[in-house]
């Protein structure tokens, strides 16, 4: 598959933990020049969303959009690429970089730029919640609350994995009661109380935490994880088990599989996390596949 010649780089200077004598944009410009890639760099204006910036770049003739940032940045740019049938490239610059790691994209910026120059195209299936794309996961309950706390921690201490893990502990200490959810799984309805509903779309992330559910992804369905309505101490223990890759189905979480998931939280709006970014959404939430795959540039061996 031939790559379009026009490349635009969407840079999120807030992603990850960049430090150095030059800005992230200047660093990437230098790497692109050394690799021989011609690309125009786009940075969001105050108040402008990354998805809107990506559409602006596409309006100017870009055929390939390269997202330089974390999973949230990549997800925002991927949404525009899929809407406009453009190819997505990735230079991982985030804290965890699950999407890039799952595709074998190097985390080192110089190697990632080199992979863009010599890469090939893969096709990936996207998930969507109420029409909004997610690459790795979408969730409500405890995980969005952790992300909210994490942003406060980042503002105070800077972006790092240690700060991210500390925000988990802080959220568990202040945890509120479990949600009461009505969930439709391909026409089968269940009602439960849970502090967390987590829909996965990344086999790599499931492997990282030693979780089942890859079989669902292989058939085009989603694994849905819910935690039992338990005490704060029990949820803390389950969270620690997840971190240690020792969480157990039936004890620490329940696993459901479905191609179309509808979640009704019993209120008109709910906070949802998509690939590490939070957003208030109208309820109920409908989770399903996008109708066609996304084209992504990956290293040749990864394809």
pTM for this predicted structure: 0.84
Residue-wise pLDDT for 163-209, tens only, equals 555 455 444 445 556 899 999 999 999 999 988 899 999 999 999 98
CB 135 within 8 A of CB 71: yes
For the packed helices 24-35 and 109-118, what is the interaxial angle rounded to 10 degrees?
Answer: 40
What does pLDDT average to in each consecutive run of 10 residues of the chain (303 residues)? Answer: 66 62 81 88 93 95 94 96 96 92 95 91 96 96 64 56 52 64 97 92 93 96 87 60 61 91 97 92 98 94 54
Instruction: Indicate the helix (H) or strand (E) that contains 294.
Output: strand 294-298
Q: What is the pLDDT of residues 104-143, one digit of tens each?
A: 999 999 999 999 988 899 999 999 999 999 999 999 987 6
What angle is formed at CA 181 by the lines to CA 217 and CA 140, rounded to 5 degrees? 60
- Position 177 scores a pLDDT of 67
At 3 the pLDDT is 43
Structure tokens at 191: 């009602």
Residue 169 backbone phi and psi in degrees, to 5: -60, -40
Distance CA 161, CA 96 (A): 8
């Amino acid at each position: 598959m031939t790559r379009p010649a026009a490349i635009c780089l969407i840079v999120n200077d807030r992603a990850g933990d960049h430090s150095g004598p030059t800005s992230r944009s200047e660093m990437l410009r230098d790497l692109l020049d050394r690799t021989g890639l011609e690309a125009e760099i786009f940075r969001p204006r105050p108040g402008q969303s990354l998805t809107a910036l990506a559409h602006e770049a596409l309006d100017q003739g870009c055929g390939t959009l390269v997202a330089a940032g974390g999973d949230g940045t990549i997800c925002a740019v991927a949404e525009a690429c899929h809407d406009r049938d453009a190819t997505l490239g990735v230079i991982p610059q985030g804290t965890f970089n699950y999407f890039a790691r799952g595709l074998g994209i190097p985390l080192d910026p110089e190697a990632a730029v080199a992979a863009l120059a010599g890469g090939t195209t893969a096709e990936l299936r996207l998930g969507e919640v109420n029409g909004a794309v997610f690459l790795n996961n979408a969730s409500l309950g405890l995980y969005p609350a952790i992300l909210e706390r994490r942003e406060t921690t980042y503002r105070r201490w800077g972006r790092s994995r240690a700060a991210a893990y500390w925000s988990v502990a802080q959220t568990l200490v202040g945890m509120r009661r479990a949600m009461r959810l009505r969930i439709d799984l391909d026409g089968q309805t269940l009602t439960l109380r849970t502090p967390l509903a987590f829909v996965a779309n990344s086999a790599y992330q499931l492997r990282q935490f030693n979780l089942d559910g890859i079989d669902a992804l292989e058939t085009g369905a989603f694994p849905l994880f819910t935690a039992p309505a338990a005490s704060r101490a029990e949820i803390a223990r389950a969270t620690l088990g997840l971190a240690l890759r020792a969480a157990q189905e039936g004890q620490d979480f329940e696993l459901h599989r479905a191609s179309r998931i509808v979640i009704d939280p019993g209120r008109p709006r709910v906070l949802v996390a998509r690939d590490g970014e939070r957003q208030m959404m109208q309820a109920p939430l409908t989770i399903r596949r996008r109708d066609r795959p996304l084209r992504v540039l990956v290293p040749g061996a990864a394809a």
